[in-house]
Amino acid sequence: MRRDTQHVLLVLLGGALLRIAADDTYLRYVRPSHRWLLLAAGAVIVALALVGLVRDRAGPPEHEHGHGHGPWLLLAPVLVIALVVPPALGADAVSRAGAGNAVVQESDVFGPLPAELSVAEFVQRAVWDTSGSLDGREVALTGFVLRRGAATELARLTIACCAADARPVRVRLVGDVGDHAADTWLQVRGVLQAGSATATNGHVPALTVSEARTIPPPPDPYEY
């Protein structure tokens, strides 16, 4: 591969990182706190490539063999990153993960119940909170629709670092929530059915829904 080709590819790769970090596109891949890491990495890559280009142009020409057509195929993944905005992981990823909740961490310490819970915290409280903080309390949850036969579930994906380690959490919706397609985003209000999250059903609690409304997909689709 020609040296100038290497430098151009690095410029494009660094530019692609800068582009996805400049808006909310990076949230499809990593946590919000990683934005500055992407910006720094993109800037360093572009700077190194430009320094290499300038240094090579200032030095004596080098004899290079071949026409160098093949390496330009490496542009394909760079262009995909720069130009194609992939959808966030959704109902299909949750369905392929199995029938239960994969992220249920044991805890015996819970703070005051907030007005709006993450789906992951709702599941955690439903399974482990022996103080009954959810009993008879109406909560608001936001997530996307997952269809499992005739049942409708509300799901989210939690990530520790990036979308590659995403784990699903889900809640079974009971009541009239309407007929929504998979991946439709909903905000629901309802009350936990006590004792509904068991090891038998994969620790999936049931929520008796009093209100459900569709919402646009949020810029940040994951929970943390």
E strand or H helix at 171: strand 167-174
Task: Report which DSSP code applies to 21.
Answer: H
Kindly state the tokens that stand for 69. Answer: 């057509």
- Among 2-16, 49-63, 94-108, the range of highest mean pLDDT: 2-16
* The domain made up of 91-214 is a member of CATH 2.60.120: no
Q: Provide mean pLDDT across the span 89-95.
A: 79
What would the pLDDT profile of 149-186 be if each residue is shown by its tens digit?
888 999 999 988 888 888 899 999 999 898 999 999 99
pTM score over 0.85: no
Q: Provide mean pLDDT across the span 195-205.
A: 90
Output the CA torsion sign for 123, 125, 130, 136: negative
What would the pLDDT profile of 114-138 be if each residue is shown by its tens digit?
877 899 999 999 988 888 889 899 9
Residue 70 identity (one-letter amino acid): G
Q: How far apart are CA 137 and CA 190, in angstroms?
A: 8
Q: How far apart are CA 92 and CA 217, in angstroms?
A: 16
Residue 29 to residues 62, 74, 140, 201, Cα–Cα distance (Å): 40, 21, 26, 30
Q: How far apart are CA 94 and CA 142, in angstroms?
A: 16
Beta partners for residue 158, in sequence order: 167, 223
Q: How far apart are CA 105 and CA 128, in angstroms?
A: 8
Residue 32 identity (one-letter amino acid): P
Residue 62 has pLDDT above 60, yes or no: no
Task: Give span(s): CATH 2.40.50, the chain.
Answer: 91-214
Q: How far apart are CA 164 and CA 90, in angstroms?
A: 13
